[in-house]
Chains A and B, each alone.
Chain A
Amino acid sequence: MSLLSNTGALLGKELRTEFRSRELLMTTVIFILMVIVLFSFTFDPTSAESRKFGAGLLWLAFLFAASLMLQPCFLREQTNDTLSALRLTVRDPFAILLAKLAANTLFLLVTELLMLPVFAILYNVPVVRVFGQLLLVFFLGSLGVSIAGTALSAISAQARMRELLLPVLLLPLLTPVLVASTQVTAGLLDVEPFLQWKGVGFLAVFDVVFLTALWLFGEYLLEE
């Protein structure tokens, strides 16, 4: 019970601070928008080409945007040493990680959903028919990115060369998520859309395994 109530209180704090600063959402929205617009004008793809390469482009943009978003996740807590205050206060440290993870997933998902119509218009790919299934893939993919990213953000925040460390660690670790998410999304953007349950299952398993690892070892990630 205290885990859930603490997570709820901390998630509220994350949303409130982001609502006031708008740092993370603005950064990621602008980054993804730039990637989508630049590629659209550079390659001027046909609808068939967009269906083929669009999913990969979309997930690469999401992944790089996520690495930008995840960087300040724990760095913010170092400004006034608020992480120490949280560690002193919260009985289960997993609540700190869970709240960060929930906030990161939510921010990433909101960004993706904001960018989806732009992608659909610029690349001439209909997404309305498969919106529900795309939402499922975006959620599972974003959750995987956020779980691994939150853990690595906690580690890298206490390291030297932290700005470099997070992307270096994050990108190889997230390759399986990126591949699975791209394949499932590509299937949904096809002329005859289909949902690759195998890919969805892989994403779900990845999320469960990494979430369990975070629960088991999270306490050590927050130690000085």
Chain B
Amino acid sequence: MTATDQLQIDRAGIRFKNIEKRYGSLFALRRVSLDVAEGECLALAGRNGSGKTTLLRIAARLVRPSSGAVQYTWQGDEDCATPRTGFVAHATMVYDELTAEENLILFARLQGLSSPAALAEKLLGEVGLDERRGSLVRTFSRGMRQRVAIARALLQQPQILLLDEPATGLDPEGVAWLAGTLRKLRDGGCTLLMSLHGESAISALATRAVRLDAGSIVADTQQGAEMHAILEFAGG
């Protein structure tokens, strides 16, 4: 069994309540309220600067909202203040001066996971980098770095996976692989919240889509908007 062929995990959801984020006089988000249900695969669409990345970073608790609150709903480990969350961002979030394997072992250790070396080996095999596991990340192509980034996000078998344009740098084969990986995660009960540009094999996984414009939600499939229209608009 692989990390993505996991058993049903404890599900988790996110509730954004009246989220507002200002940078000086600029509004990145304006009173965004959104419930991401447990096990849902939600695609965030919108033009550049519409607030997708800010919303994802707020969900990851990397950015504090100016007002409003983020709540998490989940079953399982009550000792944890928040559910297990993985984040694949624009930047790869891995160290260029470490090898792919060293990066994964480092982050596994920081998360207190058992057998970090075995886990790293398994995940690198899954993302197709087992032969390059001892190579420094700085020698990798953009697509290979993105695979390491995805492996890092999957280390702790996340209940919530946040993805900011995850297909960046991936070739068509890589996109197909990523779509397969995300499908397994979604089917295993992992909640996916991803920002996308246009329709692709990855957007086809979405069970719901929301379009952001100038920091506000302007369309939602749950409110009757068409999935195709939302994704196609964002792509164009």
Contacts and interface: CB of A to CB of B under 8 A. Distances in A.
B89 A89 contact: no
Contact of B109 (A5, A17, A82): A5
Interface in A64-89: 79-82, 84-89
Contacts of B63: 224
Contacts of B97: 16-17, 20-21
Interface stretch (A6-14, A144-152, A154-162): A6-14
Nearest to B112: A2
A9 B92 contact: no
Contacts, number: 66
Interface string B182-226: 000000000000000000000000000000000000000000000
Given A13-B98, A87-B62, A80 B92 contact: yes
B93 interface: yes
Contacts of B152: 85
Contacts of A6: 109-110
B62 A10 contact: no
Contact of B110 (A79, A81, A86): A86
B60 interface: yes
B89 A13 contact: no
B159 to A, nearest CB: 14
Contact of A80 (B87, B94, B109): B94
A49 interface: no
Interface string B100-124: 0010001101111000000000000
Among B85, B90, B95, B98, the one with the most A-chain Cβ atoms within 10 Å of its Cβ is B95
A16 B94 contact: no
Determine the main DSSP class of A at the interface with B.
helix
Interface residues of A, number: 24
Interface in A175-192: none
A81 B112 contact: no
Contact of B107 (A17, A79, A85, A87): A85
A44 interface: no
Nearest to B116: A9
Interface in A57-114: 79-82, 84-90
A5 B44 CA distance: 37
B232 interface: no
A17 B95 contact: yes
B181 to A, nearest CB: 19
Contacts of A10: 106, 110
A80 B62 contact: no
A94 B204 CA distance: 41
Contacts of A223: 64
Contact of B95 (A82, A89, A224): A82
Interface string A1-45: 010011001101100110011000000000000000000000000
B85 A88 contact: yes
B10 interface: no
11 contacts: A9-B109, A10-B106, A12-B106, A13-B98, A80-B93, A80-B96, A84-B57, A84-B89, A84-B91, A88-B85, A89-B111
Given A9-B109, A16-B97, A223-B64, 20 more contacts: A5-B112, A16-B98, A17-B97, A17-B98, A21-B97, A79-B96, A80-B94, A80-B95, A80-B96, A81-B89, A82-B93, A82-B94, A84-B89, A84-B91, A85-B87, A85-B94, A85-B107, A89-B111, A224-B57, A224-B63
